[in-house]
Structures are given as structure tokens and as C-alpha cells.
Structure 1
Amino acid sequence: MLPLRRAALWGLRRDHSRALSLSPTHRDAQKGLVLGVYEQEQEDGGPSFTESAEAFDRSLSGGLRELLAVSGPALKRGKSRIFYGVHKDFPSVVLVGLGKPSAGVCAQESWDQRRENIRAAAAVGCRQLQELEVSVVEVDACGDAQAAAEGAVLGLFEYDELKQKKKTAVDARLHGSSGAADWHRGVLYAEGQNLARHLMEAPANYVTPTAFAETIQQRLSPLSDKVTVHMRPQSWIEDHQMGAFLSVSKGSEEPPVFLEIHYRGGPSASQPPLVLVGKGVTFDSGGISLKPSSGMDAMRADMGGAATVCSAVVTAAALNLPLNIVGLAPLCENMPSGKANKPGDVVRAKNGKTIQIDNTDAEGRLILADALCYAHSLNPRAIVNAATLTGAMDVALGSAAAGVFTNSDWLWDHLQKAGAVTGDRVWRMPLFQHYTRQVTESQLADLNNVGKYSRSGGACTAAAFLREFVSAPHWAHLDIAGVMSNKDEVPYLRKGMSGRPTRTLVEFAAGLSREV
């Protein structure tokens, strides 16, 4: 074997890393290792290794540190450098930048920067090895095994099951034995979000309302001892007088499904459940108020609320959280057929209130209205609904955070803390009577589905509309339209549908379970 310093001089330069190789045959090796490196705190100081990286360096008699020193400038946060052939067990070793070791909770950013750095680092390291077709990757816990697992599993996901050429399947494992329980928890959190991403990314002709419900039912079938899944058909929806929901679904040839999931994790069946409600429009054409064709394909993900809510219940069940949860998802398509809603139509919701439909593209609030009414019959401890509801939410917050409208400071506190832990943040929005007046002044009915000024405060008037179907003291509406997809904003998610804020909903439920 060549001396390490001499080997380092055979570097292959890349924009994001420097690859150092002892032998090109090592590129075909099937095992890799991702290790963390902190930035120097002082200008005259050097980088510091994580505990695992330090131990690995000692096994090489300081060789890893030597390689890093001669390979180029300091390794910045989120950047990587790969070395080949330095260890017999790990032919490919990636060092990833973790940023400053002093990083922690940042009140201004409303998240834990250290955890975010770990997620990003684990993702970039695993992706780099995946591109080299390495099938087994061990990942440094970097001081937080759950965050490392989330970054690794989220970073590796890509929806390619309809392509002939697929990404290499990578088995990401914890390096070492310390933190195994936290690693497993992080894997479950990330797999939950990946389930939501899978549902949101898949074409609408593959994920119909029925197919969506069957997918969730299949995922929960191994847990049938503590989970019951009901796929309520159209006849049931009609019997429960969900006229608003039915009015949206009637424009499509696909039958609607009201999906109801009961997870029994609490100490008793009588414990009031947390009720999660998700908008499940599996394709939204806009109906008669047809959307522009540009970008309409993304409306296959308009069931993002249902995807995140149902995936959160799946994850909570896998974690065996000690509380009862009910997940509700009204599932349908919004299509412009001869049977579809027309602007000016009036429909009656489950609670008897009439709704004038001035824009058929404001359909999500209609199906949620009936679902929220039904949620009250379950004696809820709290009701939280999620929906890709308004483009106005995207305009207001972009992809930085999901907007939260709530009548409960207690609920807001729990949601905000959960978002800070997961890095998938939320931001509180107003529920003023100012907006309520805009949706209750209607020419033909009790409510108007878009309000007096359809372009002003659209996210707020939509929330005010939903509030007309809520009497529970603890209710929150999450408008997740702005976080529906990822371009390059979240470094540990590839481009595409994001599955946000699944992990925040799971963490929120976990926080409530600790209060039981």
C-alpha cells in the first residue's frame, strides 16, 4: 500500500468534494462509511472530528487527519470529501462537514441548527456513496443518532419505481453500537415522511382515492392488533350527509372514499383521541374553475394533507406511542365533468350550514368542512387538520414553514416545539374575525367558499371558513401548500414532493403522549 500522504496527492477534483483514490477498483466496492468533521471555531485552529471519526483516525494512526489536511481547504458545513482505499473494511470513506461544534438551538430560526447540520451531512454523504453504487453505508451518529438516521433515510429517497433505471438501493446503518435506539427512531420518522413523499409523488392514475386508502391499509395490516382501518364508501358518505364532500367528488368518475384510521395506543379505549384530518384530493384540476395547464401535473400532490396525516399515524403506530389517535382523510378527485360543481351552486355541509361555491377550485375547504364536523363526534382531545389549501400560503411563507391557524395557545405551543425539534417548522397565522366576516357575508347561503375579496388574505379567509365547522376548544389548521414540494431549500430532501410536515406531526403526537 502507498503511504497515505503520497496517495493523497493522487486527488481527483470535484466541485463539491475531492476524491482521493489508492486504486480505481475501490470505486466498485459495496461498503462505505460516512464520518463527521466540525469546522474550526478559531481562525488559527484546525477541524475537529466526531467521536467516531476520531476513533477511526486512531485506527489509521492519524492517517485520516493527514489525508484531510492535504486534500484542500477546510471542509465547510454540508460539503463532503471522499477517500478510497484507506481501510480494509470500508473501501470508500466520506467525511462530511457538520459546521461549528457550538451550533445549537436558535430561537430566531426556530430550530436546532446542530440537528439540521447533522441531517444535511448524513444525506450528502449517503447520496455520494449511492452515486458510486455502494449498497451498504454505515453512518456516524455525529452526536445525535436520530438526526443522522433522518438525514440518511430522507436523503436517499427518490421516487423512481416507474423508471427502468433506478438508483442503487442503499442499506444505511448506524456506525457503532451507541445510540441504536435513537437511530431506529430516526429511521421510523424518516420512513414515515418517505411514505408521504411516495404517495404525493406518484401519478394520479396510480394513486386514486381507492388506491391511496388501500396503500395505507396495507402498511397498517401488520399492526391490526392496535389499528383499525375503515374505507368508507360513497353510500356511507351519503348516509352521513356530507354534502360538501360529495359535491366535489361527483365531478369525477373515481368514487370517493372516507378513510378512517383508529390507533389504540393509549392506556384505555376511553382516552380522548388526538384527531388528525387531512385533505385528500388525489388530483385537483380546479373543476369548472379550471387551473392553468402549466404546473397542473403537480396537483397530483393536492392530497398532501391526507398523505402526511396518514403517514404520521402509521409512524405513531410503529413507534407504539402511548396515546389514541384517529386519522381522517376525505379522498376524491376534483374534475370538470358535466356533474361537477358550478360557480354559484349552493351545497349543504354535515352540520347543516349552506355554502355558496363561487370558485370550484376552492374545493379543499369543502371536503374538510364535513370531515371536521365528523371529527367532533369522536370526543377529540384535540383536532389538527393539514391541507395543501391555498396558493396564498405559499406567497406568504414560501417553503420555510407551514402556516398554523389555531384557537388554542396550548396546541400552538406543542406544534411550535415539535417543528423546532424536527427542523420542519411551523408559523402562527391570524384567525381574526376580520376574515370571518368576509366568508359569512354571502348572497345565497350561510357561507361563501372564497369570501368577499378572493385575492386578499386568501390563506386567512380559508382558515376562517374552516373555523365555521369547529366547536372544539383545541383545533389547529395547517396550511401546507408552501411546503408541498422541495426544489433546493431543504438540503436533505431531493427535488420533488417533500412529505412535509410528517415528522413534525409525529413529534407533536409524541409530545402529547408524554403528557398522558
Structure 2
Amino acid sequence: MEYPLRSGDPSKLRTACLVLGIFSKRNLSEPAITVDKASKSFLGRILKKGDMDGKSGQFLMLYDVPGIRAERVLLIGLGAKKDFDLSAYRKAMAKSATILSESHTTEAANTLSLVEPQGSDIYTQMRESVTTIERQFYRFDQCKSNVEEIKRPLKKMGLFIGDRRSAKRAEQAIAHGCAIARGTSLAKTLANLPGNICTPSYLAKEALALGRQSPKLKVKILDEKQMEGLGMRALLSVSRGSRQPAKLIVMEYKGSSDKSKPVVLVGKGLTFDAGGISIKPSAGMDEMKYDMCGAASVLGTMAACVEMALPINLVGIVPSSENLPDGDANKPGDIVTSMSGQTIEILNTDAEGRLILCDALTYTERFNPAAVIDIATLTGACVVALGAHASGLLGTDDALVNELLAAGESSGDRAWQLPLWDDYQEQLDSNFADIANIGGKGGGTITAGCFLSRFTKKYKWAHLDIAGTAWKSGAQKGATGRPVPMLSEFLLKRCGLGK
């Protein structure tokens, strides 16, 4: 999709479709007022007929509007003007993209970018426009034998700016938006692929392909023999139940000086999780292909970072495996020794994500990181606590946690902080090992974070539990690509380039 900048009088622009915003109670946005004057109150007369009030979600397509050069005009409801914030802006932009696509319009000009949401600026509006539009057009059809092609797809969406002096900042926002959107789409596609295709080896190949896109990105893959040599026996205990070999994917992006400490992203890469011997219920088990959404988000964020050429050092680490029942799989009661030397009693083999993550977090120490963030579809308890709207966030460094919370608010990819108090640590006590891999029924997301915290003593660390936000179930089943937008905004802000 192309996003050329437009300016000037929208009524004089020749385009297949001009998008205008209408607030509740038929209040016209400024661009709509301009077009209404040029059409000698044509818009006002149409609205008075009652076909549209301007409520959020409403739309009206008009043809042959007099006095203007656009072939069609699409009116989009914006809701109450006093409530028009970034969330309402995204909804309106998404609606316009959907209607334009369904109307087989190949080119359009959108004035919604001139309607400033509360607390917004040109950079935010342009970036949100692009990421929102691209989200509407994402499709996963790689595994279908008969794909119906869109005969007249939307190829160009012009975005209006009020002042050409802001063009440079707007163009930067569009470039960033395209990069984040492509990174999000990559994360979605990797997650949507079935487990028989997207194996640990497949993820490794995707990482190597990403590494070939930039000389600043170096990728190496550690196999099971190399991990054994490092003492990663917690990670390898999970992969024993699978015929697919585990992989540790290490991606190093050098966008800044060698002396600059890197940010490290660690993504849980369980390409399929049947629960092991503590097997999951069969209903909905197909969705356990999404247990690698943390890994997918790390690859997507790395891809966005490379495309934006961010001046930062970034490391992405993905421990990847399957978790299946087998004669050699972990058994409840088994004790394994992690790379850190801590012993772990496995009380539930379905709490395997923390077993692969703990060794990856210990491996992370060698990079002397400025900050470490792990991302994982870790606990069903997080879904119970927060639903599908916010990711769970825990951490040992308040400043890092606050950075992520702010990035989530800015990007619309929000998180909610949960406590990481020492009071919860005793739930992980074991009679036979240094630590148990589960902490009982209460506070499951928190005790999972407590478990991981024991392997992060040497750096600033935060943990994102995306079990409720990484994918949708039901009729709209599919990966969301979260938290690529949040992580991208976090990195942009660290570079002084964010919202």
C-alpha cells in the first residue's frame, strides 16, 4: 500500500473516493465543512435526511457530489467530538479502510488524518493511520488451495496533512508505521502457521532469512548438542518428548556503537504445546500452535527495528521446542538442573514455558544487557485476570516497567502491571529441589513471574504475559501480532523517535 501525502483544499482533489469525518449530531469535521461549502451544502442536506447521524461505526457513500472533483465521498462517523481520542481515531480509520476495500476502490484520499484526536500530533496520527489500515488488510491464506483474489484492491491511500512544513515528520511516521505493520504481520503469519509447518527448525530458518536483510543483523542458531554443552538441561528436558529438535535462536542487531549495552528480547517459542504428560484437554488444543507467539513477536519486532534502522543495539533470543507426551518426556516429579545451576522440580509438565525461558534468561547474561524483556504466552491465569484487552506485566525494575506501560498506552497495545512481591515466592518452595515449576492455584501469573525472576538477578528485567492478547478464538480466530506495536514503540522511545 502506498501512502502519499496530500494537502490543500480537499474539494479540489481529483480522487476515486474522498473520505470525510462526521461527528455525532451531524457535526461536520473541518475538511467536511470545506467540501460542504464547495458543494453548496449538499452534505448538510443529505445528513438532514437522517441516513447518518455521525455515531461511531456509521458510514455513508455518496456519488456525484456537486462542486468537487472526487468521484465519490465516503462519510465516516466519528462519535462525539468531546470523546474523540486515539481509540476513536483508530476505529474510524479502520472503518474507512474496510469500506473502501469492499467498494473495490483502488485509490482514495483520507481527510481523517486532519481530525486531531485529543493529545495527538501529526506523527502519531500518521503512524496510527498506517498501522490501523494495514491491520485491516492482513489476510492469512498460505494454507488454502483456492484463494479468491481481490479484483480491484486498494493500492493507494492518500493522507491529508494541514501544513506542508510537517511533511518530513509525517513521512517519517508513515515509514515507521509501515515497518511496524510489516513486523506485526510477520508475527501474525508465523503464529497462524500450523505446528507441522512452523517447527523450531522453521523458526530458525525464518530468523536466518531475516538476518540476510541487513548487514547489521547477525543470526546464529544453537542446536541441542551446543545447548547441552552450555548446561541448558531445563530447556532440553522439554524437547525430549518431541521428534523435532530444539533450537536456540540468537539475533544480534548492531544499530549503535559497540560500547552501547543492548536491549534483549526473549520470546517463548513453543511451536506446539500439548502439555506433555500433564496433557491438555483436546477441546481447543489446536490453538496451542499459538504458544510460540512470544517468539513470533520477537522476530516481528526485530524485523521492524531493521526496517526502521533504529540507532540501538538489540538482541533477540528465542528458545524453541515442542512439548509433547512421549516415553522420554518430562514426568511430574522429575528434577532437572537449569543452566544457572538451580534445580527445578517439575510438578506439572504443562508449565514448560518457564523451563525453556529460564535457561534463555541465564544465557542472556553474556550480553551485559541494558534491559531484558521476555514475552510469553505463559499462563491461563493471565487470561482469567485480564481477559483479551491487556497483557500482564511484571518486573524487577520500576523504570523499565513504566517505560513499557507508557509504550503500551501510546501504541494502543496496552499492558497492566501485576505485583511481584516476595510474599508469592514461597508458593514455589519444593521439598526436593531449589524451586518447583508451579506455585499452586492462587496467583498463577504472578508465581510464574516469580519463577522467572530467580534467573534474572544480574540485570533489569520485565516479563510480558501475552496469553490473553496474542490471539483471538472463535469465528475471528487468528493471531493479533501483539505486542509488536508496544515493543516497537518502546524501542523508538529509547532512541528518542517515538510518540
TM-score by length of 2: 0.87
Q: Which residue of 2 aligns with 1:3?
A: none
Deviation, 1:494, is 6.0
* Alpha-carbon displacement from aligned partner over 1:208-267 (angstroms, at most 9, x marks no partner): 1121222233244222x211111222222222211111111121111111111111112x
- Which of residues 191, 208, 216 is equivalent to 1:200? 191
* Residue 487 to residue 121, structure 1, CA distance change in 2 (3 Å): farther
Q: Which residue of 2 aligns with 1:508?
A: 490
Q: Report if aligned partners of 1:76, 1:99 keep a CA contact under 8 Å in 2.
A: yes
Q: Report if aligned partners of 1:152, 1:172 keep a CA contact under 8 Å in 2.
A: no
* Residue 394 to residue 356, structure 1, CA distance change in 2 (3 Å): same
Does 2:178 match 1:187?
Answer: yes
* Residue 483 to residue 54, structure 1, CA distance change in 2 (3 Å): same
* Alpha-carbon displacement from aligned partner over 1:170-210 (angstroms, at most 9, x marks no partner): 43523346533322322222222222111111211221112
Q: Which residue of 2 aligns with 1:258?
A: 248
Residues 144-155 of structure 1 correspond to what in structure 2 (within 5 A)?
144-155=125-136
Q: Distance in 2 between matches of 1:487 and 1:255?
A: 29
- Which of residues 51, 76, 90 is equivalent to 1:72? 51
Give 1:214's aligned amino acid: K
Give 1:159's aligned amino acid: F
Q: Which residue of 2 aligns with 1:483?
A: 469
Q: Distance in 2 between matches of 1:427 and 1:310?
A: 23
Q: Indicate the RMSD between aligned Cα atoms, in angstroms.
A: 2.5
Does 2:449 match 1:468?
Answer: no
Q: Report if aligned partners of 1:149, 1:183 keep a CA contact under 8 Å in 2.
A: yes
* Residue 333 to residue 316, structure 1, CA distance change in 2 (3 Å): same
Does 2:421 match 1:432?
Answer: yes
Q: Distance in 2 between matches of 1:215 and 1:31?
A: 39
Q: Report if aligned partners of 2:52, 2:58 keep a CA contact under 8 Å in 1.
A: no
Deviation, 1:57, is 4.5
Q: Distance in 2 between matches of 1:58 and 1:469?
A: 65
Does 2:110 match 1:139?
Answer: yes
* Residue 337 to residue 172, structure 1, CA distance change in 2 (3 Å): farther
Q: Which residue of 1 aligns with 2:82?
A: 102
Does 2:367 match 1:386?
Answer: no
2:85 counterpart SS class: helix
Q: Report if aligned partners of 1:245, 1:367 keep a CA contact under 8 Å in 2.
A: yes
Q: Distance in 2 between matches of 1:172 and 1:66?
A: 30
1:483 counterpart SS class: coil
- Which of residues 440, 459, 478 is equivalent to 2:445? 459
* Residue 327 to residue 145, structure 1, CA distance change in 2 (3 Å): same
1:419 counterpart SS class: helix
Residues 359-378 of structure 1 correspond to what in structure 2 (within 5 A)?
359-378=348-367
Q: Which residue of 2 aligns with 1:300?
A: 289
* Residue 349 to residue 176, structure 1, CA distance change in 2 (3 Å): same
Q: Distance in 2 between matches of 1:462 and 1:131?
A: 45
Deviation, 1:61, is 4.5
- Which of residues 446, 451, 454 is equivalent to 2:434? 446
Q: Distance in 2 between matches of 1:344 and 1:362?
A: 13
Q: Report if aligned partners of 1:78, 1:117 keep a CA contact under 8 Å in 2.
A: no
5+ unaligned residues in a row in structure 2: which ranges? 1-14, 117-124, 162-166
Q: Report if aligned partners of 1:118, 1:151 keep a CA contact under 8 Å in 2.
A: no
Q: Report if aligned partners of 1:130, 1:167 keep a CA contact under 8 Å in 2.
A: no
1:336 counterpart SS class: coil
Does 2:234 match 1:238?
Answer: no
2:449 counterpart SS class: helix
* Residue 126 to residue 339, structure 1, CA distance change in 2 (3 Å): same
Q: Report if aligned partners of 1:408, 1:473 keep a CA contact under 8 Å in 2.
A: no
Deviation, 1:159, is 1.4
How high is the sequence identity, in percent, across the aligned residues?
36
Q: Distance in 1 between matches of 2:460 and 2:483?
A: 19
Q: Distance in 2 between matches of 1:505 and 1:496?
A: 20
Q: Distance in 1 between matches of 2:63 and 2:54?
A: 17
Q: Report if aligned partners of 2:175, 2:308 keep a CA contact under 8 Å in 1.
A: no
Deviation, 1:373, is 0.3
Deviation, 1:487, is 5.8
* Residue 234 to residue 172, structure 1, CA distance change in 2 (3 Å): farther
Deviation, 1:62, is 4.2
* Residue 50 to residue 323, structure 1, CA distance change in 2 (3 Å): farther
* Alpha-carbon displacement from aligned partner over 1:378-425 (angstroms, at most 9, x marks no partner): 000001111000000000011121111111111111111111101111
Does 2:167 match 1:174?
Answer: no
5+ unaligned residues in a row in structure 1: which ranges? 1-29, 41-45, 104-112
- Which of residues 339, 348, 369 is equivalent to 1:350? 339
* Residue 58 to residue 153, structure 1, CA distance change in 2 (3 Å): farther
Q: Distance in 2 between matches of 1:167 and 1:116?
A: 31
Give 2:199's aligned amino acid: T
Q: Distance in 1 between matches of 2:16 and 2:251?
A: 40
Deviation, 1:85, is 4.8
* TM superposition outliers: structure 1 runs of 4+ over 6 Å: none
* Residue 486 to residue 66, structure 1, CA distance change in 2 (3 Å): farther
Give 2:55's aligned amino acid: K
Q: Distance in 1 between matches of 2:473 and 2:23?
A: 27
Query: How many residues are treated as equivalent by the alignment?
Result: 463
Q: Which residue of 2 aligns with 1:497?
A: 479
Deviation, 1:472, is 3.1
